[in-house]
Structure 1
Amino acid sequence: MDMNASDLAALRMLIVREQRGHWVSPHDIASHLAISTASTTKLLDRLTRSGHLERRPHPHDRRARVVVLSEAARTEFYRHLGARMTKMRVAAESYSDDELRAIVRFLGDMEEALTPAPDANRPADE
């Protein structure tokens, strides 16, 4: 789709939340991607300019804004990744909830094991 990993992750998050009927705020995107509000603003500006996103007033809170996929982005996303997502969903359906919890725990443990520990000899601000 000719975009960076953060942009694609934001679109994927919006697809998933949309399927669940949830509204997405800029703060939700920042939290999901673990990026600053400044970086989130740049990401949203970039994806809005490219026609992938729209910022709209929140339907229940006129002070807030929500972020939604444009129809063109939804079509493009499913054209590129829809078949792969369907295959992944079918594969996941063959596991029980208990098995999936064990897999999630395992992957979390592996992530923790592979994340370098802070160097005790290095100052914290480096």
Structure 2
Amino acid sequence: MIQDERNPLQQGAYWYDPEKHGVSFAIEVLRAVRRFRVADAAMRHRAQAEMNVNETDLMALRHLIACERQDRVASPKDLSEFLNISSAATAKLLARLSASGHIRREVNPADGRAQRLFATQSSHDEMRDSLAATHEQMMRVVLELTGDQQIAVVHFLDSMCAIATVPHAPKVPADELAPERSES
């Protein structure tokens, strides 16, 4: 392929024109987001390998631990909804996690039929051993930011999450992607 320096696709800018409206540095922000997503996926893959679970199993365990921290009790239905999987897939997941000692199931004492789900202490320990050092390093980076910077990052990431969770984000013309910046 012949290199064309004016072709944004070859510059890694995808469909953005880096010469329009200050989009050039915005592209760097999006590249940084992509790099973080790749690094985050690698971190999760390491945790999966260390815990001998697959991606869905890890997501389920993290959800159960989060529920416990919030004093909420998870049910198979809650887990199905969180993971966006069928009840049959949830049943297989729970059987696998139960057999591997990652979760325990209890009968709900309120009705004697429904299940309550909990991560086992060994799952808590494995998760902590696998991710704690990385999470501590991440916290140190965040604490280096000023309060205003932290607020800006939260706003940015929440906005990106809102866009990413929409099945088909509305198309925005390229010339509306970034406002012109005033030189001050």
On whether the aligned pair clears a TM of 0.5, the verdict is yes
In structure 2, relative to structure 1, the CA distance for the partners of 1:59 and 1:85 (3 Å cut) is farther
Q: Which amino acid aligns with 1:100?
A: V
**Normalising by structure 1, what TM-score?**
0.75
Correspondence 1:95-110 to 2 at 5 A: 95-96=150-151, 100-110=154-164
In structure 2, relative to structure 1, the CA distance for the partners of 1:110 and 1:67 (3 Å cut) is closer
Query: Equivalents in 1 of 2:120, 2:134: separation in Å?
Result: 21
Correspondence 1:1-126 to 2 at 5 A: 1-88=51-138, 91=142, 95-96=150-151, 100-110=154-164, 112=166
Q: Which amino acid aligns with 1:21?
A: D
- SS for the counterpart of 2:105 is strand
**Normalising by structure 2, what TM-score?**
0.53
Uncovered stretches (5+) of structure 2, i.e. residues with no partner: 1-50, 170-184
Query: Equivalents in 1 of 2:63, 2:70: separation in Å?
Result: 11
How far did residue 2 of structure 1 move? 1.9
Uncovered stretches (5+) of structure 1, i.e. residues with no partner: 116-126
- SS for the counterpart of 2:52 is coil
Which of 1 and 2 has higher RCO (CA within 8 Å, sep 6+)?
A: 2
Query: Equivalents in 1 of 2:166, 2:138: separation in Å?
Result: 24
Where in structure 1 do 4 or more consecutive aligned residues deviate above 3 Å? 85-90, 110-115
How far did residue 103 of structure 1 move? 2.1
Query: Equivalents in 2 of 1:57, 1:88: separation in Å?
Result: 38
Query: Equivalents in 1 of 2:133, 2:168: separation in Å?
Result: 31
How far did residue 59 of structure 1 move? 4.4
Number of aligned residues: 114
Q: Which moved more, 1:60-69 or 1:71-80?
A: 60-69
- SS for the counterpart of 1:67 is strand
Query: Equivalents in 2 of 1:36, 1:113: separation in Å?
Result: 19
- SS for the counterpart of 1:66 is strand
Query: Equivalents in 2 of 1:20, 1:9: separation in Å?
Result: 16
Query: Equivalents in 2 of 1:84, 1:114: separation in Å?
Result: 33
Larger radius of gyration: 2
How far did residue 84 of structure 1 move? 2.7
Query: Equivalents in 2 of 1:108, 1:100: separation in Å?
Result: 12
